[in-house]
A and B are shown apart, each in its own frame.
Chain A
Amino acid sequence: MGLFTDHYYEIAAVVLFGIGFMGLLLHNNLIKKIVGLNIMDTAVYLLLAQRGMVFGRVAPILGDNLTPSAEQYINPIPAGLVLTGIVVSVSVSAFSLALTHRLYKKYHTLNLDEILLKSKKEKENKEKAVTH
């Protein structure tokens, strides 16, 4: 029972990480792989951000309180780290989508296995053309 009363955020984060990882490994479709990678990202952010949370404390926005004490506010460090991570993850997914677009333009498929086969065949044909 401690699993669901004390560690529910962690369990959810780990399960989400597993789902994203599974999608990344098992799907042949490149778009699905990128979605899986994004899910893994958010799972890691969830795991990081829930560590800073303390019951009964509020977000570290001081407002009019000019003599803050550490007993009133939650830990700001995970929030800062995750803020960095979210923006980096969007650039990673944009880059991989651009790569996907180029691959589709060349091979007219999104299936990774087919792309690999086609590129191998292309390479063989090129070698044959060189040797002849």
Chain B
Amino acid sequence: MVDTQTVLVWILLGFLITCAVASMITKNLLTTVLIFMSYSLVMTIIWIVLESPDLAGTEAAVGAGVTTILFFITLKKIGALHTNKKGKKKKLKEGEENE
């Protein structure tokens, strides 16, 4: 017999694995980082289920907050946030020439 909390944990863990796989196989770097952020948020819920509220607070602030911001800034600096219609990465040099 399985209780409801176990089923909830199964769903959460399944979501975690799906997020990990999706963030590894997507082509777009921005999508990768966004999926990784949702992965961190689900991890926060799992820390609550595992009775570790200290970890949940830290993971929410650090994993979903600061790490994602650092990833975004790096992507912006290397010009991967500007995508053209085909969804391909536009190179920094080409962008400068177009302007």
Contact = CB atoms under 8 A, between A and B. Distances in A.
A and B touch in their complex, CB below 8 angstroms:
yes
Contact of A90 (B6, B62, B93): B62
A27 B93 CA distance: 24
Contacts of B75: 31
Interface of A: 4-5, 8-9, 12, 15-16, 19-20, 22-23, 27, 29, 31-32, 34-36, 38-39, 42, 45-46, 49-50, 52-53, 57-59, 61, 74, 78-79, 82-83, 86-87, 90, 93-94, 97, 100-101, 104, 108, 110
Contacts, number: 112
B58 A97 contact: no
B6 A5 contact: yes
Interface of B is mostly: helix
Chain A interface SS verdict (over half) = helix
A12 B16 contact: yes
Interface string B1-21: 010001001100100110011
Q: How large is the interface on B (under 10, 10 to 19, 20 to 34, 35 or more residues)?
A: 35 or more
Nearest to B19: A39
B17 A101 contact: no
Contact of A23 (B24, B43, B53): B24
A64 B74 CA distance: 47
B39, B52, B67: most-surrounded residue (chain A CB, <10 A): B52
